[in-house]
Structure 1
Amino acid sequence: MVEPLAFSEESWHRPRLVGIVNVSADSFSDGGRFLAPANALAHARRLLAAGADVVELGPAASHPGSEPVTADEEVRRLDLVLDRLVAEGIPVSVDSFQPRTHRFAAARGAAFLNDIQGFPDPARYAELADTGCRLVVMHSVQRRGPATKVRTDPQTVLTALERFFDQRLAALQAAGIDRERLIIDPGLGYFLGATPEPSLAVLAALRAIRTRFGVPIMVSPSRKSFLRAITGRELAEIGPASLAAELYAASHSVDFIRTHDVAALRDALTVLTALNQYAGASR
């Protein structure tokens, strides 16, 4: 049964907000607006002022049809922006699956490494153990390339998700990476399939996933394809649907929400926190 949106004193805790800065040429959400370092820095600072706890820099797009980017180019895009933010004491996450980019980001002070492939290479685990970065281990039915046209069964996705995290978390820990450094991302949108049902199933199962694995969860429903499919809205109109999915995730024990619109989510969470506290005090 799908759990309803419910904020109880027992279940509610405010997630940390991860503001997205796409330092890329062909992001599906902002089309290269923040590729220039000055623009990326300005946007990062806007997100922080709006309430972001972490800024995530993405040097390459991962949507279907995006152009491959070399690790050297990712590093070039990150170079100045990462240095400036770290120098200002800002927690930075870097979204990349490329080992060279991971090494560069860790050496330059990134606090988080976010890998959409879930850190698949065991030969690198000793190196990752030495970085001290927190690792966002993402589950994905798909790998880079066009989204599948096959309707993926939601239960199949949930079973694969459990198997993936059972194996990957065990392997990372066996290599000396403390469990406290691990964050899991169940994946949403095209990462799970071309239809909304797998993403809905994952969102509905968030509390069970959190209980099973006992590590923090990050989700990113913001502007995802499954929301556009459900609502029939274009990308420019998908803000309310993104916020609804984010609030559902917040009510189901996630620890981090990765979002494009930090201000809207911050304000919504502030109001819901006040309502929850008032309701608790009135009992």
Structure 2
Amino acid sequence: MNSAAPRILGIVNITSDSFSDGGRFLAPEAAIAQALKLARDGADIVDLGPASSNPDAAPVSAEEEIARLAPVLDRLLAEGIEVSVDSYRPETQAYALKRGVAWLNDIKGFPDAGLYPAIAEADCGLILMHSVQEGQADRRAAPDGDIMGHVCRFFEARLAALEAAGIARSRIVLDPGMGFFLGAAPETSFSMLARLGELKGRFGLPVLISVSRKSFLRAVTGRGAGEAGAATLAAELIAAVNGADYIRTHEAAPLRDALAVWANVKDIARNR
């Protein structure tokens, strides 16, 4: 169990086709306004995504990603907001490093060794995400065997490569991936939520969980993405109780309030 409250990452999708809010924050002014709102609502970090990871989304070039990010980064960094850039493209990651962002978030787990020297020279945190697909064309593919074994083998290989390149292990946060990153079956994501303690015990590193509005929650509740707030919050609290150190979410305020309630209950139980 995580003794401290998880840090909150607020999601801003600067995209036209994200599954839950595509197009709402594509304009720089809208993205900036949403990022500032998330920060006011309790997000410790704002996670900017310039391209959708939706399996059906159109590809976005690195040049377009950078064009979407630039005006938003200008404002947020000037405001002193802690920013994460969510991109697997090395060119976009290199741009983000030059801008001095606090975090890089890579849904492919930093596979490009060509960027390792630049990452090693930087001091930003790295969100190392697992995906069962690993570049397969069918991004809804299901893994073979035990999901925890698959996730752990992935992290072992990536951590070894990063550490061999001189990238400190202490900079890394592990994200096991949720929803289609673990395959189409909802029970796989629920299993990972239930077994977070195993993952933390195996690697001794902080863990990030991102379940907000995802398909496995919608599958068991019958809700659409815009109606998945209650299911999202329930899953996020389960993640917190099971040891998540970071939670990535579309709505910071409900999660902040729920974590405050949980913290008070923990304090009373601890002091009895």
Q: TM-score range, shorter-chain basis?
A: over 0.9
Offset, 1:198: 1.3
Distance 1:280 1:156, change over 3 A: closer
Check the 8 A contact 1:125/1:172 in 2, yes or no. Answer: yes
Q: Whole-Å Cα distance in 2 between the matches of residues 240 and 54 of structure 1?
A: 22
Of residues 215, 237, 251 in structure 2, which corresponds to 1:261? 251
Q: Whole-Å Cα distance in 2 between the matches of residues 61 and 132 of structure 1?
A: 26
Q: Whole-Å Cα distance in 2 between the matches of residues 253 and 236 of structure 1?
A: 27
Q: Whole-Å Cα distance in 2 between the matches of residues 144 and 107 of structure 1?
A: 31
3-state SS, counterpart of residue 248 of structure 2: strand
Cα displacement string for residues 34-73 of structure 1 (whole angstroms, at most 9, x for unaligned residues): 1111111110010011000000000000111101000000
Cα displacement string for residues 123-165 of structure 1 (whole angstroms, at most 9, x for unaligned residues): 32122111222111100012475543x6545x53211111111
Check the 8 A contact 2:31/2:72 in 1, yes or no. Answer: yes
Of residues 131, 137, 154 in structure 1, which corresponds to 2:128? 137
Check the 8 A contact 1:26/1:66 in 2, yes or no. Answer: yes
Map 1:1-283 onto structure 2 (within 5 A).
Answer: 11-142=2-133, 143=135, 146-148=138-140, 152=143, 155-281=145-271, 283=272
TM-score (norm 2): 0.96
Gaps of at least 5 residues in structure 1 are 1-9
Q: Whole-Å Cα distance in 1 between the matches of residues 54 and 61 of structure 2?
A: 16
Offset, 1:276: 1.3
Offset, 1:200: 1.2
Amino acid of the structure 2 residue aligned with 1:265: L
Distance 1:240 1:94, change over 3 A: same
Aligned length: 271
Amino acid of the structure 2 residue aligned with 1:208: E
Offset, 1:109: 1.7
TM-score (norm 1): 0.92
Q: Whole-Å Cα distance in 2 between the matches of residues 152 and 164 of structure 1?
A: 12
Q: Whole-Å Cα distance in 2 between the matches of residues 106 and 121 of structure 1?
A: 15
Q: Whole-Å Cα distance in 1 between the matches of residues 117 and 33 of structure 2?
A: 36
Cα displacement string for residues 79-110 of structure 1 (whole angstroms, at most 9, x for unaligned residues): 01012111111110000000110011111121
Partner of 1:7: none
Offset, 1:280: 2.0
Moved over 3 A (4+): 143-147, 150-153
Q: Whole-Å Cα distance in 2 between the matches of residues 147 and 120 of structure 1?
A: 17
Offset, 1:182: 0.6
3-state SS, counterpart of residue 146 of structure 2: helix
Distance 1:120 1:89, change over 3 A: same
Distance 1:227 1:133, change over 3 A: same
Identity within the alignment, %:
54
Q: CA RMSD in A?
A: 1.4
